[in-house]
Chains A and B, each alone.
Chain A
Amino acid sequence: MNTIKEYLTTDHRKCDAIFAKMEEEAGSSLENSRILVEEFISDMQHHFAMEEQVMFPEFEQKTGMTQGPTEMMRQEHTQMRSLFTQLMDSLNENNSDRFFGTSETLMILLQQHNMKEEQMLYPMAQQHLSAESDRIVSMMDSLAVE
């Protein structure tokens, strides 16, 4: 089974690929990209849920750090959720400039967020939670099924 780090990192790349497809489709037709936009947002919300509902609480319980890195990651999730709303608004208004402006902002915010997680938080989580790694990945995976 994948480690926590591998599992969540792979999910990042999956979201990146859908994001790129979404932008490509939006480039030819904004309206036709709706399904991919919804898929991207849904996948991202799911990723956030895996972290916020499973991995972060486990990490916090193990390390006792409730106001540390996980709290800051939650704040960046909030920033991104606000951009998801703006992305949908621009799609509904059929405003291409606004859509690509928001997607660019989201992309950079998302990538610097991923960098922090992949290079710092996930290795830390793997280190502290290595004994429970399989169970946590399994829980995140079952959240995926739901």
Chain B
Amino acid sequence: MESVRMGELVVSATDGDELVAIGLGSCIGLAMVDTQAGVAGLAHVVLPESGSAGGPPGKFADTAVPELLAQLERAGAVRRRLAAVLIGGARMFAIGASLDIGARNAAAVREQLGRLGIHVHAEETGGNRGRTARIVLGSDVSSQLAGGERTSLLSLAGRTGAITGAVRGLAGAR
């Protein structure tokens, strides 16, 4: 299991790999996958905009989304086939009425995805509870509340396996 911590971003093309962002509060776990290419990536986004602030590209929505896209493309993904899943963006504390970072994070990630023409397949955001975002390559993208069950949001048990199976089937018939 590869842990994707605050501000980090991980891409994998290895079947069975598990990418996990544990304990997303106001942060967003952004999963982007190209099922056909068998490539997936997860970013743990902390804040909407980088501005003058420092930090790794995965930390801010406006730098994380382009960076995740670039790394996925280098790993063989095709932009128009990418599906995005947003998890997190909760409002855990009633502190600071004007400071709903979770909602602002979700909006900023959505805006970046829209700008780059990346399809949002599913979203599990808002509320007041923490979540864990998990990608298991070849299986699915899921969200999980503390002490709860995993909710599968996107199946990755997809075409790659099916096509391989079909080709094998033909070879066997010959």
Is this pair of chains taken from one and the same complex? no
